Amino acid sequence: MSSPVQSGHEILVPLFDGDSAGAPVHVNWQQNLSQRKADYYALTADNITTGEQVPFFIAAEYYKSTTTANPNHITKVGQLVAGEGYKLKVDDRLQYGQKNAQGELRFIIYHDKERKPYQHRFIETAVGSATAGKAAQMAKAFGVGNVGNQIMDNFKGFIGDYLHTF
């Protein structure tokens, strides 16, 4: 089992490329008795500290090239590594989800923390809306061998848990 990303680690978020990032995934949830939704990009970031990869979800408005005026945009909070991406220190700006208290299948989310979706909303949405190639990439990032029921079986531990802040 890979070691979960921790506060203080450094990660490398890939440069925005509309072709390789694919279409954003639509995450829906209920908060304060109203339906909410937001678009996220499901990526794989490099954990520079450990040399491993980690699933990373970033709010579309913090990532797209057309939204760089946003004060929380990745270009404003990350350190540019030319030709590769943006280096971020894992801190309380980021949230995470995981399968259990041991940090199994931990993934990172960078978004407005006023949003309160359950962890499983990211998993279901990313896997369910992915193309075959992207689904295989997400399955690998979440540490499962093949796509399908096995993925959702692995994530039953996420049901009903809110995201955690580093």
The per-residue pLDDT for range 65-94, each reduced to its tens digit, is 999 999 999 999 999 999 999 999 999 999
Amino acid at 32: N
**Contacting residues for 22 by C-beta, under 8 A, at least 6 apart:** 41, 42, 130, 131, 134
Residue 143 has pLDDT above 70, yes or no: no
pLDDT tens-digit map of 26-71: 998 888 888 999 999 999 999 999 999 999 999 999 999 999 999 9
Q: Is this model's pTM higher than 0.75 or not?
A: yes
Q: Judging by DSSP bridges, how do beta strands 25-31 and 10-14 pair with one another?
A: unpaired
Q: What is the rounded distance in angstroms from the CA atom of residue 88 to the CA atom of residue 16?
A: 15
